[in-house]
Amino acid sequence: MENERVLASLSYFSIFFAPFLFPIILYLIVKEEFIKHHAKRALLSHLVPVVFGFILMFFLLTGSLLTEANNSAGTGIAIGYVIGMIAYFAVTIGFFIWNIVQGIRVLKF
């Protein structure tokens, strides 16, 4: 049981060394449901900032293209960039801390 907890917590701590690869390998190789559950949660929590970044990039790029097409002032899009980057960093740091907390939580309990 102790090895299961270590492997499950390593799937969260893999944010430091192999964010996507390690949880996928654990999920595909290991048969224990406890480890699979935590590997899946860790993988999803590693993917959320990436998906959020792609969505943010899409909206910022289309917004800047529309601004250039309309020849309007770029102040609105500049504010959008700043707010978007602050939101992206907040989400990324939040999920980074969440992974560390979950890894410790799995080890302790």
Distance CA(4)–CA(26), nearest Å, equals 11
User: Given a cut of 80, is residue 39 above it in pLDDT?
Assistant: yes
Instruction: Give phi and psi for 16, each to the nearest 5.
Output: -85, -30
pLDDT value of position 78: 75
Confidence class for position 109, pLDDT limits 50, 70, 90: confident
Cα–Cα distances in angstroms (integers) from residue 85 to residues 17, 19, 41, 47, 62, in the given order:
24, 21, 25, 17, 16
pLDDT value of position 60: 82
Query: For residue range 42-89, what is the model confidence (pLDDT) as tens digits?
Result: 999 999 999 999 999 898 888 777 666 565 556 667 777 888 899 999
Query: For residue range 1-28, what is the model confidence (pLDDT) as tens digits?
Result: 688 999 999 999 999 998 889 999 999 9
Instruction: Identify which of 6, 15, 8, 18 has the alpha carbon closest to the alpha carbon of residue 40.
Output: 8
